[in-house]
Structure 1
């Protein structure tokens, strides 16, 4: 059994290579989705008992018109097709994940989801992503943040650039930097920029559009995202007050 499965509490008596691998694959999904009953919305809807559930039926989640019009229920066949290429399966979906092209990945993921629904395997702990993000290194995150300064200011009162000022972003409402023109999608998202929602936003691949989306390639490593988020926390007044940590000055420029 892998260390990841052990960390998430998958009992060895219930684990199989297939479901264990499917659980590991779901870690990509856990950046945006919870799976436990009553789990909160991060960036995508809660996926509790997704197989057999009506499509676009999670109360309170703002689905795309395209997915809302799809109708029917999430069968294994429909889920497999959607996971392969979401944008091709439902044209106009808001889900930007490029898809799981490997059919074995989809098969193992769905097998694990079925095992969870049958109570033969536990879901991913909703706190696992938070635990990973809590281990971020703000010093390393400051170095990783250098390319972001091309588009983002990060000092109190600084003007917005191509992207909004990120000073105090952790804990503030989504799409709330004064004077910045946000995309309609981001303005409609609601909620706050928590470490979890920032992690989800950084995971997505987005096309470039001034005032609307991140322009850099997605940060594939969870440790990189955790470190950048830890640095952004250090720019939050509320974070400094609660932890006693102080931002140690501007980003060091390249020689």
Structure 2
């Protein structure tokens, strides 16, 4: 009830209803930074591993025509109401068992309230609070020298010099901008072979973060990097190993 009241006050007035509501929305914006590993939220924004979330409140579940939803979400009928979003964000895989969304959920009710209230303001006819794309900023400003040090354990499974033979994993020279599962002579898992597109920094970020859509069924066994700064630095180093990659490619 409190969540619905805050959303009503914020949407139904030209400004924030009071300082308490403003603080909730600001907290929600901070929490959304975690979501940017997989989602954009600006109007007309592109999809990452998850769909763009602009206008998600009131939208039919799994309804964007240009996004490939998991079968679990396609079977999850209804509309994204405040209650539905709150329940899904708490435990995504319990609400839609088998969803590709690897996020474990947010247990704190106040955090969920803040995030849902923020999402409610990102759509047609709402306030549309400006959001900085912290993921792209991090990926564009990674420290390649630190990433080279972070890459050291990866050498147990991957070579990284031009023309070097594959190891247990494929050679990663030129991986940024390369077609997924395309290193010559390497036997990829069935899961990766099914994927299309190229390894952009954003896709690599999701893969290193252990995104289920990429990792389920693959042979990768390394411990994922949970800190965005670590992933950004590692990807900056991989960019240095990929001289043909164009920075104009963002998807």
Normalising by structure 2, we get a TM-score of 0.80
Unmatched runs of 5 consecutive residues or more in structure 1: 1-12, 243-255
Aligned to 1:226: 232
1:99 deviates by 1.3
Distance in 1 (CA, whole Å) between partners of 2:138 and 2:218 is: 28
- 182, 187, 196: which is aligned to 1:190? 196
The offset of 1:211, in angstroms, is: 7.2
Against the structure 1 CA distance between its residues 47 and 187, is the aligned structure 2 distance closer, same or farther, given a 3 Å change threshold? farther
Matches within 5 A, 1:90-101: 90-101=96-107
Count the aligned residue pairs. Answer: 227
Question: In 2, distance between residues paired with 1:123 and 1:24?
Answer: 12
- CA displacement, residues 79-133 of structure 1 (integer Å, 9 cap, x when unaligned): 111111111111111111111122221111001111223532424244x422221
Q: Where does 1:63-142 land on structure 2 (aligned, <5 Å)? A: 63-117=69-123, 118-126=125-133, 128-142=134-148
- CA RMSD in angstroms comes to 2.6
Contact in 2 for aligned 1:32/1:200 (Cα 8 Å): yes
Query: Which 5+ residue runs of structure 2 have no aligned equivalent?
Result: 1-14
**8 A contact 1:162–1:211 mirrored in 2:** no
The answer to whether the aligner puts 1:157 opposite 2:163 as a matched pair is yes
TM-score, normalised with respect to structure 1: 0.79
Q: Structure 2 vs 1, CA of residues 210 and 61 (structure 1 numbering), >3 Å: closer, same or farther?
A: closer
**Equivalent-residue separation in structure 2 for 1:199 and 1:166 (angstroms):** 15
CA pair 188-54 structure 1, distance change in 2 beyond 3 A: farther
Distance 1:205 1:68 in 2: 19
